[in-house]
Amino acid sequence: MRIEAADGTKRSKMLLGRWHGNLQHRASKLSTFACLFQYQPYSAEPMPPSTAAQTRRLYAFEVPPQRNVEKPLPPAGGLVQAATTVSVAIDESTESISVGKWIDADLQIDSASQDRSHVIRNLAIAIAFGSDADALSGAAQIAAHLSACTDRRSKDSLLMIVVADDDKATEVKLWTFPQDSVFQFSPSRRLGKGPSVQATEAFSRGSHLRKAAVFRGQNRRTDFLSCRVVDFQVNASARAAADFWIEHFLDARLSLGSALGTKILAKVLRETVGAACNAEERLELVGAAQALRQSNREKWSIASVADELLREPARSNLLAHPVAKRNKDSLFSLDRDAFDKLINFRVYQLDTGVWVSAPFTDEPEGVEIEKAGDDRRLTATGLVVAETVRSRHA
Amino acid sequence: MLSEADLRSRYKDRLPVLEQVRQDLAIETSEILAEVPHIDRISYRVKSIDRFVEKVREKATNSVYNEPLREVEDQIAGRVLVLFRSDLAVVMDAICSEFTSVELRRKAPRTTEFGYESDHSIFVIPPQVMPSTWKNAPSAPATFELQVRTLFQHAWAEPQHDLGYKSAKNLSEDSERELAWAAASAWGADQALQRVAERLSIEPKIEPGSAT
């Protein structure tokens, strides 16, 4: 693998000069990464005919974690020549993420600026449409920004920036792959020598901590305002991990707002309960609503509710709701208080220690509440269709 | 660049989808503002074919648009009318919490003049109302416009738009002065209403018949 500056301009030479020291130290890790990608030595191999997008630029940087570091080092890296094999591997990484795992995010543009200024947007546009020198500089700045956002307890990561064109638009893909401890195995090649195993570090393409952001568009003011994101840590219990990629690094937010997302989910659940053809299915949906209220997880989509909290046929019926069909993959932060109000989740605690919960309805069927002086007396009648043991009430 | 006939034809084809997005945005805006007081009305419109083509033609001399079907940002535009000036910021904050803004501009005349006043903003069309055929389509709109005004700002802006903006070259000095007077009156009425609203919100209510 060979990392070079994009061109012979003074600026890129200067940047390369600054990186040179780092490159010496980090060469071994980058080589291992190259092995994992089965990277071939540098050659002027032609790009294969592409059925979709054609890679035009590819940058790689080894990014050390340097959050709050007073004098951070610039990450080592630059333009990758002969990027075919790597870009194919990046495409595989992109395609391996199922549709429902992509998150829509909007950049938090400075809306007072005339040119829709935003640190990542400006750099992504420079990388996609700028001169070679500007693109290299933009890529290096994104790497430095990622480094400055990364907590020092993290390991180094590999940032790959791919620019690819198709006949309609240009894509800028930012991928980051975390460093991982791996074994490298070599079978015996010579007589009398056994196989060898080497413990080493590599950047992992399959890691659960890998992240991506993909921008698509042209160089105009209406484009590169939003991106599609891969971040499997978005629901991490540690806030810093959950917010790292979208909020801190990309300076973006989920495209579907919390209030609207919560309303949409409540509406879909409520109407699916209303249309449920039997008590078992209704109970399944009510159980999902209860689970949502009790869950510590912040971010949900309709698809994740269906897939993780429902069995058939309730799952399919929820996803078949006309609103769900269009919105099912949009991730949003669930507002539990608003959700409670929207699904009208009433919970009655009785003096007998019994709890009665009645979601989705103002006047629950079979539940009568009558005034008894200053008190209210509740009577509930109905067939028992399921029984569960829970440590907490609804 | 598309010919005018092609532009007209492609925009016409898009109208039903724009109409669907318009309805969805209107519903969502109403939901966002459901708890916000002093909303007089919320309305959204789809730009007509003639106005769309006219706008593109007007801007053509400055090469503003390379791809007007994408770059004209008020193909769908909404307007929220509020009762008091202090509601403008409240409404905008509520909307910005749910829709992502990329541009917020307060249009106002110079401090020594009276004229058009309105809060204009451009938002990203959110994924839940974005038609699937528009996702990743480079010529589909990605943004929409929203204006927030008080009733008096609107009461001046609409007739002025008709009278003044459309025939700016033909307005006499007297007409311009009268429009400015109307703008000043609308501004003054807004200020007065705001002051009264503020006094009522802080002064204790005087019960009828109580001794003062």
CA distance A288 to A193: 59
Beta-carbon neighbour count of residue B175 at 10 Å? 13
Non-local (6+) Cβ contacts of B7 within 8 A are B52, B53, B56, B68, B69
Q: Are B49 and B15 in contact (CB under 8 A)?
A: yes
Task: List, in sequence order, the alpha helices (H) in A331-393.
Answer: 336-342
Q: Which of B24, B69, B128, B146 to mutate: most A Cβ within 10 Å?
A: B128
Instruction: Examine the pLDDT at B157 and tell me if it is beyond 80.
Output: yes
List the 198-227 stretch of A: residues with Cβ below 8 A of B.
216-218, 220-223, 225-226
Q: Are B58 and B115 in contact (CB under 8 A)?
A: no
Token representation of residue A391: 């440590």
Domain annotation covers residue B126: yes
Greatest alpha-carbon span in chain B? 76
pLDDT level of residue B208 (50, 70, 90 thresholds) = low
pLDDT of residue B12: 95
Nearest neighbour of A259 by CB, restricted to B32, B100, B141: B32
Non-local (6+) Cβ contacts of A216 within 8 A are A169, A170, A171, A172, A223, B136, B138
B104 to chain A: nearest residue by CA?
A: A111
Domain annotation covers residue B74: yes
CA distance A15 to A61: 13
Q: What is the separation, in whole angstroms, between the first and last Cα of chain A?
A: 58
Residue B166 exposure: Cα atoms within 13 Å on the Cβ side: 9
pLDDT in tens, B171-184: 788 888 888 888 88
Non-local (6+) Cβ contacts of A229 within 8 A are A102, A103, A104, A105, A211, A212, A213, A214, A245, A246, A250, A252
Least confidently predicted of A91-95, A382-386, B96-100: A382-386
Domain annotation covers residue B164: no
Flag if B126 and A264 touch (Cβ within 8 Å).
no
What is the H or E stretch that residue A152 is in?
Answer: none
Domain span holding position B21: 4-153
Flag if B128 and A260 touch (Cβ within 8 Å).
yes
pLDDT level of residue A293 (50, 70, 90 thresholds) = confident
Query: Model pTM?
Result: 0.79
Three-class DSSP category at A277: coil
C-alpha R_g of chain B: 20
Residues on chain B bordering chain A, Cβ-to-Cβ distance under 8 angstroms: 28, 31-32, 66-67, 70-71, 73, 97-104, 121, 124, 126-128, 132, 136, 138, 141-143
Q: Are A207 and A178 in contact (CB under 8 A)?
A: yes
A328 to chain B: nearest residue by CA?
A: B128
A113 to chain B: nearest residue by CA?
A: B103
Flag if A256 and B100 touch (Cβ within 8 Å).
no
pLDDT in tens, A224-272: 999 999 999 888 888 888 899 999 999 999 999 899 899 999 989 988 9
User: Residue A255: its chain B contacts at CB < 8 A?
Assistant: 100, 124, 126-127
What is the H or E stretch that residue B153 is in?
Answer: helix B151-160
Flag if A220 and B66 touch (Cβ within 8 Å).
yes
The DSSP output letter for A206 is S
Flag if B98 and A257 touch (Cβ within 8 Å).
yes
Q: Are B96 and A110 in contact (CB under 8 A)?
A: no
Flag if B104 and A112 touch (Cβ within 8 Å).
yes
pLDDT of residue A130: 96
Here the CATH number for the domain that contains residue B139 is 3.30.460.10
Q: What is the DSSP string of B171-208?
A: --HHHHHHHHHHHHHHHHHHHHHHHHHHHHHHSPP--T
Token representation of residue A226: 């939003």
Token representation of residue A97: 């993420």
Q: Are B121 and B191 in contact (CB under 8 A)?
A: no
Nearest neighbour of B71 by CB, restricted to A222, A226, A257: A222
Instruction: Examine the pLDDT at A309 and tell me if it is beyond 70.
Output: yes
Least Cα separation, residue B135 to chain A (angstroms): 10
pLDDT level of residue B167 (50, 70, 90 thresholds) = low
Nearest neighbour of B127 by CB, restricted to A218, A225, A330: A330
Flag if B138 and A255 touch (Cβ within 8 Å).
no
CA dihedral angle for residue A41, residue A10, residue A164, residue A206, rounded to 10 degrees: 50
Locate the DSSP E strands across A15-86.
54-63, 76-80
Type of residue numbered A325: K
How confident is the model over A16-31, as a mean pLDDT? 39
pLDDT of residue A276: 80
Cis peptide before A313 (omega within 30 of 0): yes
- Interface confidence, given as ipTM, is 0.84
Token representation of residue B104: 């917020």
Burial of A323 (0-12, 13-18, 19+ CB in 10 A): middle
Domain annotation covers residue B188: no
A265 to chain B: nearest residue by CA?
A: B128
Q: Are A148 and A129 in contact (CB under 8 A)?
A: no
| Nearest to B31, CA basis, from A262, A169, A226 | A262
Q: Are A298 and A225 in contact (CB under 8 A)?
A: no
pLDDT of residue B96: 94
Tell me how many degrees the CA angle B40-B45-B170 measures, rounded to the nearest 5: 90
pLDDT level of residue B115 (50, 70, 90 thresholds) = confident
Q: Which of B100, B105, B133, B136 to mutate: most A Cβ within 10 Å?
A: B100
CA distance A113 to B105: 10
Total domains in the fold of chain B: 1
Q: Are A217 and A172 in contact (CB under 8 A)?
A: no
Q: Give me the residue spans of the domains in chain A.
A: 3-254, 258-380
- pLDDT greater at residue A13 or residue B16: B16
